[in-house]
Amino acid sequence: MRRSRAGTRPDVDERFMERALALAARGLGRTSPNPPVGAVFVRDGQIVGEGFHRQAGGPHAEIVALRQAGARAHGADLYVTLEPCAHHGRTPPCAAALAPLGLRRVVVAMRDPNPRVRGRGLRMLRAAGARVSVGQGAGAAEKLVAGHRSVVERGRPWTVLKLGTSLDGRIGTASGRSRWITGPRARRRGQELRGMADAILVGARTVRADDPHLTCRIPGRRQPVRVVVAGVHPGLPDRAHVLRDGLAPTWVVVPRGASRAATAKLRRQGVEVIEIGEDARRVAFGPLARTLAARGITRLLIEGGGQVAAAALRARIVDEVAIFLAPMLIGADGVAAIGPLALRSLARAVHVDDLRVERVGPDLLVCAHVRHAR
């Protein structure tokens, strides 16, 4: 079997990095504002310790794996999905804890884009005598830390727009009825998307019309923050689930011209009211995204309705779409999944790349990356 110049077999590196990536994925939706990371210690071809970052403020993946490996980590190989941190945050730097172990090799999927790290962790490990290689599993690692990278490099969360529509792009009938357009399996996949998000965003109209819980029903998952975008009259029904169920935090976002009496009532009902001051009449989605990032939100899931979807697309903050298509037609008098975009030409349309389609029960799931017009 072919060996690399470092004396290791490429398929072995791939196998152990795949394990580290699988561990890292278990942290999605749990670690904000930190990225999800997985780590595996290997000695004599066997895993002797492994772990993932479970929550911000808790031990990082490398430390969890090190505690499991104990003395067996000395002289071992380490596979980690993101460059070990080299700065003091809520926990001590991982690279400093790893340096005395006499590690033989450290295989890293990708460098950390955080300027406080960005190569410093790799240099510390090389200085300690470890052979460090970067790039194994980089594609999968970059998807896992897309939220972290987006906040670091763009100052806003990685944002997914999720829609459940008829084949002709409607999310409700003319009377507003929308339950249920998609089937049970599609709704379960929607729960998985919620489980990977730090926050779920909807418009106040959706809360008034559908009274959603906006929670993740997957056992063991951290509940995402519920973000409700409202207008100058931001009142919500007193018995709305997002106000009274206590299952997750609720933030109501309003423009600076919002009714003071209504916002005071919302605060008395236990929600946090966030004012976005760019426009007195409506919430501007660019500043909203930056505000959410400053509050620790790295992965945002937008679930509607149509006006909210259009506002997010016009603000160019949507990175991916996940559209569930049900085998039905509702007609032009139904509620559009995406509101007006005011396009003057097809060249200004929102195009998508990397299109993936799969069957989810009777429905189709279409996922793609968004490519906004320049």
Furthest-apart CA atoms within the chain: distance in Å: 73
Distance (Å, whole) CA 285 – CA 301: 14
Task: Write down the catalytic residue from 62, 83, 303, 320.
Answer: 62
Residue 62 designated active-site: yes
Half-sphere exposure of residue 306, counting CA atoms within 13 Å on the CB side? 16
Distance (Å, whole) CA 365 – CA 356: 8
State the first-to-last Cα distance of the chain, in angstroms, to the nearest integer: 48
- Say if residues 28 and 145 touch (Cβ distance below 8 Å): no
Counting beta carbons within 10 angstroms of the beta carbon of residue 153, is it exposed (0 to 12), middle (13 to 18) or buried (19 or more)?
Answer: exposed
Q: Report residue 167 CA to chain centroid gap.
A: 27
Counting beta carbons within 10 angstroms of the beta carbon of residue 333, is it exposed (0 to 12), middle (13 to 18) or buried (19 or more)?
Answer: exposed
Question: What phi and psi, each to the nearest 5 degrees, are found at residue 366?
Answer: -110, 120
Distance (Å, whole) CA 193 – CA 86: 31
Contacts (Cβ under 8 Å, ≥6 apart) of 108: 80, 81, 82, 83, 84, 122, 132, 133, 134, 136
Question: What phi and psi, each to the nearest 5 degrees, are found at residue 73?
Answer: -75, -20
Instruction: Give the active site residues.
Output: 62
